[in-house]
């Protein structure tokens, strides 16, 4: 059976933890989009890890972890993550890489940095991992798929044409040092050597895995509101974050994705620029940030403080809708235990009218949150393993959210550890 694990919000919902937990009973975990630009934090018996490219099944000996064709493959980053995990005592993960995955080139990071510099105060708040230039090149058909590393003549020839156009931009737009074609060629040959043992025909592999009834998890990065079609465009990421894209980025038949486990965080956080209607500021935000996640809400890739907000029913209902959520995993609920009262955003007021439908970016920028205040439970809920044992106000919070977002909450996460979980 194929299940997707995706985010309904702005990312950082705790998908890594849910994937790591579900991987225990799975055969394959495959990343289908994104790159090393966001991170999953995972805490298990081996310790605490920030994964960027490695699939979150990497801690399970029984799991095959695949970099799907839809991923932006940063080869040095992947190798350093494998080394890091192994260095911390985890058995070497079982990794496979699609021969059709595209390679994040060293110059993609440069172009990302130069463009943010050029934009100055209008910048996107990119993590500068090269993601936007990478996907631009992929769809402009000047990217490189993994198999190209193993056809030297083809590679050399293609590289010549691409370096020519990149250097024109470097010289005339950004006024930066030019690329050296031979150096780049050597780098790519080196990349090929590093990943050769892992490369497979993932199209055949995945289709056979589906046919033989393997348990497969499609692992998403970021969330619905960062999707380039459905999110807060242009303050989104550059590859689709929705489960439907899993069919393309992991190469499984669309009708085989039977469960779409959509991860929803019990309050809001976001990184980068763009509208964030339920955002809070000052001491209120600082306290939630400090207490949030595991050891505070700071980016797993950049370390920068995340923007904080109350739970947003409008954004989350929409986020679940665009995912086609079949169930919700509701995470980091334990963090809210310090609050006497918990505001929740139940509508957006735009030009004097209240709506529950998530609007396009122009209207979003004018939206004001309509808040409803729920009573807090004012105690620590970590360690609880049965739904009935949660305090009444905590259950009421969950059930209120469930009604608003119109998707059953079947999993509640009440701590960062792998087994801090309540099934309903
Ligand atoms: P992802 O990108 O969706 O995997 O999310 P991140 O890893 O960036 O952020 C989630 C953060 O919350 C991580 O630090 C997790 O360890 C932590 N986390 C996940 N689930 C829970 C939970 O139920 N309670 C608490 N306190 N922290 C959690």
Catalytic residue at 40? yes
Q: What distance in Å separates the CA atoms of residue 187 and residue 105, rounded to the nearest whole number?
A: 10
Q: Pocket around ligand 1: residues whose beta carbon is below 6 Å from it?
A: 7, 11-17, 38-41, 43, 293-294, 300, 331-332, 334-335, 413-416
Ligand 1 atom at minimal distance to the Cα of residue 223 = 3
Q: Measured from the CA of 300, which atom of ligand 1 is nearest?
A: 8
Query: Catalytic pick from 12, 20, 74, 137?
Result: 12
Instruction: Average the pLDDT over 351-378 and give the result.
Output: 97
Q: Which two tokens stand for residue 367?
A: 């939206």
Percent of the chain at pLDDT exceeding 90? 89
What's the gap in Å between 261 CA and the centre of ligand 1? 16
Strand order in the sheet with 307-309: 268-270, 307-309, 279-280
- Nearest atom in ligand 1 to the alpha carbon of residue 38 is 2
What integer pLDDT is reported at residue 304 of this predicted model?
A: 84
Residue nearest to atom 18 of ligand 1 (CA): 416
pLDDT of residue 155: 97
- Per the CATH hierarchy, to which homologous superfamily does domain 2-99+200-261 belong? Adenylosuccinate Synthetase, subunit A, domain 1 (3.40.440.10)
pLDDT of residue 122: 85
CA distance 105 to 73: 9
Check 40, 108, 227, 334 and give the catalytic one. Answer: 40
Q: What does pLDDT average to over the chain?
A: 95
In Å, how far are 19, 57, 217, 419 from 67, measured between CA atoms? Answer: 15, 12, 12, 26
- Looking at residues 356-379, what average pLDDT do you find? 97
**Hey, how many other C-beta atoms are within 10 angstroms of the C-beta on 175?**
9
How many angstroms separate the alpha carbon of residue 278 from the centre of ligand 1? 20
37, 44, 221, 294: which to mutate for ligand 1, most atoms within 8 A of CB? 294
Residue 30 is inside which H or E element, if any?
strand 28-31
Superfamily (CATH) of domain 263-423: Adenylosuccinate Synthetase, subunit A, domain 3 (3.90.170.10)
- The residues spanned by each domain of the chain are 2-99+200-261, 102-195, 263-423
**12 given a catalytic annotation:** yes
The pLDDT of 259-266, averaged and rounded, is: 98
Mutational pocket test of ligand 1: of 13, 17, 265, the residue with most ligand atoms within 8 Å of the beta carbon: 17
Mean pLDDT of 289-306: 85
pLDDT tens track for 381-399: 999 999 999 999 999 999 9
Residue whose Cα lies nearest atom 28 of ligand 1: it is: 416
Predicted confidence band of residue 303 (pLDDT cuts 50, 70, 90): confident
The minimum-distance atom of ligand 1 relative to the CA of 12 is 5
pLDDT > 70? residue 300:
no
* 3-state SS, residue 187: helix
* pLDDT confidence band for 301 (50 / 70 / 90): low
Q: Does the structure show a pLDDT above 70 at 94?
A: yes
Please say if the pLDDT value at position 302 is more than 80.
Answer: no
pLDDT value of position 283: 96
Name 329's bridge partners. 263, 411
The domain defined by 102-195 folds into Adenylosuccinate Synthetase, subunit A; domain 2 (1.10.300)
pLDDT tens, 321-337?
A: 999 999 999 999 999 99
CA of 336 to the centre of ligand 1 (A): 14
* Residue with tokens 């809708």, as numbered in its chain: 321
Give the model's pLDDT for residue 269.
96
pLDDT of the residue at 124: 81
| CA 294 / ligand 1 centre spacing (Å) | 6
């Amino acid at each position: 059976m194929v299940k997707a694990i995706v985010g309904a919000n702005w990312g950082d919902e705790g998908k890594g933890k849910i994937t790591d937990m579900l991987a225990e009973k799975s055969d394959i975990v495959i990343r289908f989009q994104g790159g090393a630009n966001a991170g999953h934090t995972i805490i298990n018996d081996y310790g605490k890890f920030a994964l960027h490219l490695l699939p979150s099944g990497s801690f399970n000996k029984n799991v095959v972890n695949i970099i799907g064709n839809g991923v932006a493959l940063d080869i040095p980053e992947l190798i350093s993550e494998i080394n890091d995990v192994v260095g911390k005592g985890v058995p070497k993960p079982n990794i496979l890489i699609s021969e059709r995955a595209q390679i994040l080139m060293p110059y993609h990071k440069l172009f990302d940095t130069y463009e943010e510099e050029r934009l100055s105060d209008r910048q996107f708040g990119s993590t500068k991992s090269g993601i936007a230039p990478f996907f631009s090149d992929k769809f402009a058909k000047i990217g490189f798929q993994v198999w190209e590393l193993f056809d030297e003549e083809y590679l050399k020839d293609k590289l010549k044409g691409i370096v020519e156009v990149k250097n024109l931009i470097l010289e005339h737009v950004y006024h930066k040092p030019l690329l050296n074609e031979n150096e780049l060629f050597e780098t790519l040959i080196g990349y090929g050597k590093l990943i050769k043992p892992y490369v497979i025909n993932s199209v055949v592999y995945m289709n056979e895995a589906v046919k033989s009834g393997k348990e497969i998890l499609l692992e998403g990065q970021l969330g619905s509101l960062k999707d380039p079609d459905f999110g807060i465009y242009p303050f989104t990421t550059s590859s689709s974050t929705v489960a439907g894209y899993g069919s393309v980025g992991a190469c499984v038949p669309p009708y085989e994705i039977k469960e779409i486990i959509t991860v929803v965080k019990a309050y809001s956080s976001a990184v980068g620029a763009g509208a964030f209607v339920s955002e809070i500021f000052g001491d209120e935000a600082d306290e939630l940030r400090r207490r949030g996640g595991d050891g505070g809400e700071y980016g797993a890739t950049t370390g920068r403080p995340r923007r904080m907000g109350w739970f947003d029913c409008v954004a989350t209902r929409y986020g679940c809708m665009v995912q086609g959520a079949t169930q919700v995993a509701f995470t980091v609920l334990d963090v809210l235990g310090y609050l006497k009262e918990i505001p929740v955003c139940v509508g957006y007021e735009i030009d004097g009218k209240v709506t529950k439908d998530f609007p396009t970016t122009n209207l979003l920028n004018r939206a004001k949150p309509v808040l409803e205040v729920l009573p807090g439970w004012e105690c620590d809920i970590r360690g609880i393993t049965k739904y009935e044992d949660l305090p009444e106000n905590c259950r009421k919070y969950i059930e209120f959210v469930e009604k608003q977002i119109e998707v059953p909450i079947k999993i509640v996460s009440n701590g960062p550890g792998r087994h801090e979980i309540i099934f309903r």
